[in-house]
Structures are given as structure tokens and as C-alpha cells.
Structure 1
Amino acid sequence: MAGAGGARRFGGEPGRSPAVTGSARGGGRTVREGGGEREPAPGGSPAAESAVSRHDRMVRAEMMQAERVRSTAGVPADFWETLARQFRAPTDPVADPTPDALAALIGPDDRAIDVGAGGGRIAIPLSRHCREIVAVEPSPAMRAVLEEEISRHGVGNIRIVAARWEEAVVAPAPLAFAAHVTYGIQAIEPFVRKLDRAATRHAALVVMTDPPQTPLAPLWRFVHGEDRLRLPCRDEVVAVLRELGAEPVVTPLGPAPILPFGARAEAIDLLRFRLVVGPGTPGDVRLHRALDLFAEERDGNLWPKDARPNARSLVRWAPIHRR
């Protein structure tokens, strides 16, 4: 479920799955380790924890927190069913520089693999720059939107693979990438290693500096009385790649736009889902109060107050398996 940009209601970017300091070659820049305060490893010091272990622990901890505070019936069979239509291909192609940044890595006769293609926000604009896009997408709701978007845009070179990446069978391609997917990956090493093996020229991840749900942080804190645990983002992913032997190049893509929650009624439905709050519960009462405190109405929509733009980056590397 890829990409950021285009006019849509706020839903957050999708999420599924050694020292980092170093100069990023080929138009990248230097990045630093960590994304906020380092959490201690269970039973040991922070320095004893590997980058892979830290990434996976952060994902598990965030998911466990959501389950602990949940007052809804549970996670739907297809998590993305509620959000899928927010991930259509953008009507304004300049809103997201990601497709152009990826297009620079391939030629018109090349194939590319889009892991977690979602509704086609990356695949559809990128398809104009290559021979074929293989769109791997496990969510039925997302695939339905992708099929609609393929038809709407008249695209004929996107092939959909209905599978989780870990089980997908695809032939290698010059470019294999996943955009805004790794945040929720519970086992990052096999995910990255398979992405690496699928790439003959470039492997890439598109990630944010801070968790996609950061604009929800004040609401979460007010509703649940505790801070939302942080998902792994750019710095954690770069640390994982270096630990696995890659030499990642980090290219800034600019900030993602601040997005509205939607009109009040749909904003409440969306935020109940995102904050795991059931209708009529004490948390729901606090959610309504939180909207009065932390959201403002503009043009018929509720927008997060004082939200700061979240920087996006393209993290690419030459496939480790081809050395």
C-alpha cells in the first residue's frame, strides 16, 4: 500500500513490515541512527540489541498496545477495508515525487515490482515509465480499488499478484520496492532479504522519518491516557539494511502533505477505527472531546491542529545477493 500524496482524507500511511552514521553516496545524504529515544532491549542494554531485533520489537510492542487499549470488536479480516479508497492514484501527479524518483532507477523496457501496491498510488504513475509493473497486494479491498484505478486510468501494463510478499511468487526485476509498507512488518529481515533477491539492479523502500500516525498522537494520548508507541521508520530501516550488509543511499522526497480527517461524521468513524475505540464507550466520549481540542474545521473538514509535515525518503541499495 504505497505512496503518499494526492488529496485524500487522513488515514495515515499504510503499514503492514551496526552504526548507521555514514555518507550516503549517489545523491543521498548522511542519516543518523535512531528515531527518538532508544528503548532498552528486554533483559539487556540498548547496545546489545540488533537493529533487526529492535525493529521487530517496536512493531510487536505497538500492536500489543493497540490490543490492550482496544474497545472495539477486534481487527477486521481485511484491515484495509475501511481505508482502501483513500489510497487511490493521485489526481495531481506532482503531489508526490515518489513515482518520479523511482522512475529514475528504471528504463522504458524494464519491469518493476511494487510490494504492497495498495490502490495504485505509486504503480499507476510509475507504469508510464516502464514495460510492466508487478503489483503485489494481499488485501482484497485494496486490490478492488487498484483494479478500478487501472480501468479508470486506462493502464494496460500492471499485473496484480494477490499474495502477501512473503508468499508471493514473482520473477526478479530491475527494480523491487515497497513504499510505506515496512512500518508494520513484524519480521523485517525475511521481508528485506526477499525484496533484495527480487531486485536485479535496485532495491528500494520509501519511508517516513516519523510514524505515519504521528498527527493522531494528541488524540491517542487524550483518549487512552498514554503515549502511542513509536513504529520503526526511516532510521530504523536504514539501521536494518546496514546490519544486513547493504549500503543504503537515502534521498529526501520532501514532506508529506497534512491531510484532513474528513467531515465530522466521517472523521469520527475514521478515528474510532484508528484509535481502536468502540461507539458509545468511555473512550468514544473522550474522542469527541479530543476533536474539539485537537482538531479545527476548515472548508467543511476537520484538520489536525499544529500537525507538522512528515519527511519522506527513498532508501535504495544495490542488491546484496548480487555482490
Structure 2
Amino acid sequence: METSDVAGTAERAARGTATDGTATAGTAAGGTAADGTAAAGTAADGTAADGTAADGTATAGTAAVGTATHEPAPRRPAARRWAELQRGRGLPREILAAAPADPWRHDARDFTAPDVPTDTPSRATALDLLGDGGTVIDSGTVAGGTVIDGGTAIDGGTVIDVGCGAGDAAFALTGAARHLTGVDRQQDMLDAFAADATARGIAYTTVRGSWPEIAPEAGRADVVVCHHVLHNVVDLPPFVRALSAAARRGVVVEMLTEHPMAWLDPLFARFHGLYRPPPATHDDAVAVLRELGITPEVVTWERARTPPHDAEWVTRRLCLGPERVAEVAGALAGLPPRTKRAATISWRV
């Protein structure tokens, strides 16, 4: 765990983190998403992806948050279905063994947060949660706070970003958050997160490890965000329970409406003779949440950001060598573009 120098000693003591800024390595696992956003959790095939609820009532661009009832689920068919579909996204060992490079390793440069965050339903929902119950301070400007009503400010809250990558989801909330905790399995992602937080003057902690195993080390925060991770997870219930347990106010999950690697299924069939079953969708994820007693709000929308899809990137994902890039490029020309349809799934705790 690494804690920034901008976080005061009292803050770090309250969080149970080191006051000298030293790092202690966690368990490595839980990385970054295949579509250019962060990911963490138990990998189904080393990639991340997302989904949305068909029965949500929120409309795109509206900040809406559901509720968690914490009632035990008497049935688990949705969780079983999710796990079966996720296992079906795995790659045979012989394909992975023949891969000249790790197909699931992500480049931290692909996960750099923009200087000016993009307004999305996920950001709006998280900001709404951060503003709910904040400490009102009599001041015109407050570092780490959000100025409202031309002179009153709400003291910023705390955020845990599960599968943070370089911090795209967390840094979108910096105006309303006073402390950010980034959780990821790749150390280079956490290094990028820490460097950006330092440059922005934001107090931060980094935790290396796999969610939910590393959750106790991450601690608790007002809001937990988790972008483009769920399609990395096979056993979804404990992952989701840990998200809820870590949040004081609420959880915001962002995911694509289909697995981010599903668009490459025709190429896995072409190059490896591997025919994969249909992927889990956001509807499947929401069904699992409902089994856990969570009634989420769901917003579907179109992402502006285009995830990685160039021939070199796809070739590595297909576990092929660089000599096949031209062949892969030709095959890509016949595929429809990657989906950018996303879902924001949120709930209060």
C-alpha cells in the first residue's frame, strides 16, 4: 500500500494507512479492463466488460442511484448463469501457452485520465453520492471540496476505485473528493495513478491486489466506483458484496452492455477454430444484484471514448505473433466496430 504525502497524518491514521508513504505489496491479481478502462477481480478470460439493466427506470445522462436491502438471496440461478457464461469466455491452455506475449497485459499509457473529465452518467451519479451528507463549510473556496451557492462549500468525500488503472474513474471526481484510493493488480497502473494524483495535488492511497481478497486493506470510503471490471469476474456475489461493504453511501459500477471481447469471437473462430458461447450481458449482472437484495438504478448510454482496437492490439489479444498483424488487419476489415454502448449501475448502501 502506498499513501501520498498530501494526505495528512490524521487522515492516514484514521484510515489505518502508513504515514511515511512507504508501500507494502499486496497480492497481485485484478488488473485493467480490455476496453481501455480499469479492471480488477477474478478473470474469466483476462479481460473486462460490462452491462446494463433492462428494467432500470433512469434515462441517460441522469444521476440515479438504487438501494441495497442487504436481504439474503434465497435463489442463486442468476449467479450460476453468470459464472457459466463467464467461464465460457476463457481461452484453452494450449492457445495461451502458444501466445508469444501475455494477451491480458495492459499498457498504462492507455489508461491516462484526461485533464478535463468527460461528463457521463457514471460521473454524475458518483458526484451525487459524494454530495450526499458532506460536511458544509462556511468558506468561498475549499481545497478538495465542491463550491455551491456561490460561497458555501461541501467538504469532499472519499472514493475507492476498484480496478483503477491509471485513475480515469477516480480523477473524474477530484473536485468533490478529498482522498482517492486506487486498487489494481498491475503495479505500473498504480504507479501511473500515484503520479497523476501527485501532479493534481490529490491525497491518495494505492493498494495492489485482487478484489475482493484485498478489500480489507483498501478499507472503506464514502463512494466505491468500479468501471469496466465485472466481465473479469466469474464469482460475482462476493465481489459485489465487498463493493457494498466498502461503501458508506453507495456504489457506482460502469460496464459495457456486452463483453468487450465478444466482437472478436469471429476471429477466434477463424484463427484458432475456437467457437465461444454467447457472453454475459449487463442484464445478467443486474439479475445477480437482485438476487443479492440490491435494487439498482441503471442508465444506458453511448461512450465517447473509443477503446483499443488496432490490428497490433487485436493480434496480441488473439495470442498471435507480430508476423500475423497484416493478416489480422485484413480480417478486422470485415468485422463491425466495437460497441461503445455502456451502462451505469448504481445503488445506495
Task: Using structure 2 for the length normalisation, give the TM-score.
Answer: 0.66
Preserved CA contact (<8 Å) 1:106 1:130: yes
Q: Which has the higher contact order (CA 8 A, sep 6+)?
A: 2
The answer as to 2:174 corresponding to 1:131 is: no
Alpha-carbon deviations, 1:259-288, whole Å to 9, x = none? 4644xxxx42x22321122456xxx4xx63
Counterparts of 1:312 and 1:290 in 2: how far apart (Å)? 26
Question: 2:203 matched to which residue of 1?
Answer: 157
What is the deviation of 1:235?
A: 1.2
What is the deviation of 1:111?
A: 1.1
Matches within 5 A, 1:15-164: 15-17=39-41, 22=55, 24=57, 50-63=77-90, 65-70=91-96, 71-72=98-99, 75=102, 79-80=104-105, 82-91=106-115, 93-94=117-118, 98-107=122-131, 108=145, 109-151=156-198, 153-164=199-210
Alpha-carbon deviations, 1:14-40, whole Å to 9, x = none? 5544xx7645369689xxxxxxxxxxx
Preserved CA contact (<8 Å) 2:31 2:184: no
Question: 2:336 matched to which residue of 1?
Answer: 306
Alignment-mate amino acid for residue 192 of structure 1? V
What is the deviation of 1:254?
A: 2.4
Preserved CA contact (<8 Å) 1:2 1:121: no
Alpha-carbon deviations, 1:71-97, whole Å to 9, x = none? 215758xx43x4322111125533755
The number of equivalent residue pairs is 271
Question: 2:3 matched to which residue of 1?
Answer: none
Flag structure 1 segments of 5+ consecutive residues without an equivalent.
5-9, 30-47, 296-303
3-state SS of paired residue (2:329): helix
Counterparts of 1:313 and 1:209 in 2: how far apart (Å)? 6
**CA gap 1:157/1:232 in 2 versus in 1, 3 angstroms:** farther
Counterparts of 1:146 and 1:219 in 2: how far apart (Å)? 33
3-state SS of paired residue (1:132): strand
What is the deviation of 1:209?
A: 0.4
The answer as to 2:274 corresponding to 1:274 is: no
3-state SS of paired residue (2:302): strand
Preserved CA contact (<8 Å) 1:176 1:202: yes
Preserved CA contact (<8 Å) 2:130 2:222: yes
Counterparts of 1:252 and 1:141 in 2: how far apart (Å)? 31
**CA gap 1:96/1:275 in 2 versus in 1, 3 angstroms:** farther
Matches within 5 A, 1:148-297: 148-151=195-198, 153-165=199-211, 166-168=213-215, 169-259=217-307, 261-262=309-310, 267-268=311-312, 270-278=313-321, 284=324, 288-295=326-333
Counterparts of 2:39 and 2:273 in 1: how far apart (Å)? 24
Counterparts of 1:54 and 1:156 in 2: how far apart (Å)? 41
3-state SS of paired residue (2:260): coil
**CA gap 1:2/1:177 in 2 versus in 1, 3 angstroms:** farther
Counterparts of 2:276 and 2:116 in 1: how far apart (Å)? 32
Task: Using structure 1 for the length normalisation, give the TM-score.
Answer: 0.71
Counterparts of 1:128 and 1:312 in 2: how far apart (Å)? 24
Flag structure 2 segments of 5+ consecutive residues without an equivalent.
1-29, 42-52, 65-74, 132-144, 146-155
Counterparts of 1:161 and 1:72 in 2: how far apart (Å)? 29
What is the deviation of 1:112?
A: 1.5
3-state SS of paired residue (1:62): coil
3-state SS of paired residue (1:117): coil
Preserved CA contact (<8 Å) 2:40 2:184: no
Q: Point out the more displaced range, 306-315 or 219-228.
A: 219-228
User: Per residue, is there more helix in 1 or in 2?
Assistant: 1
Alpha-carbon deviations, 1:230-283, whole Å to 9, x = none? 443311110110011110110224235444644xxxx42x22321122456xxx
What is the deviation of 1:56?
A: 1.8
3-state SS of paired residue (2:289): helix
**CA gap 1:155/1:305 in 2 versus in 1, 3 angstroms:** farther
Alpha-carbon deviations, 1:139-167, whole Å to 9, x = none? 1121122223224x423222212232222
Preserved CA contact (<8 Å) 1:175 1:203: yes
